[in-house]
Chain A
Amino acid sequence: DAKTTQPTSMDCAEGRAANLPCNHSTISGNEYVYWYRQIHSQGPQYIIHGLKNNETNEMASLIITEDRKSSTLILPHATLRDTAVYYCIVRAAGYNDKLIFGTGTRLQVFP
């Protein structure tokens, strides 16, 4: 599975968009980009995933560059409850439930 690089921490004002970048320059053609987040002392929570097209759901948007070497998770209107560690993970599709977590980005949303 490809390795990802994320900033260690980021701040965001409540109500503003939070843009969390992820670099995955060694991603291969059959690997998806997944985002999970972990609020303090809870289990990780799935947010969104994509292969090459931009994706949006009720929680967030995922923008993947055309060369697929990087992506950005966008929380359009951050709230205090979005304060968490956000993990960007790349893994191949199929029968492989092994997630390789990096160090993630600690997002702090402030009032």
Chain B
Amino acid sequence: DTAVSQTPKYLVTQMGNDKSIKCEQNLGHDTMYWYKQDSKKFLKIMFSYNNKELIINETVPNRFSPKSPDKAHLNLHINSLELGDSAVYFCASSPRQGRGETQYFGPGTRLLVL
């Protein structure tokens, strides 16, 4: 299947822990994104990478560190998890970085911080 995939699907952890979420796309796209959807369902951009290069970094705490080993993968590492980090994290990709490009979303990772 051609798609955007994420692991894990669910993540339950304690405050203060460090965790990582992985994302892979086999669509051949150049650009990948991380979004956060909070409990009120508001979907907000966090980061964007184009060909492994960080191009967008919205006002996200530096406890969040994305990493793109190649253009098909974009991982998100979160240090010192806080209760407010509980949310659904979506990875997305688009063919290129232009303004008209359609973004395709992965299934999401549901993070619960206790």
Indicate whether A and B interact: no
A binding-site residues for B, Cβ under 8 Å: none
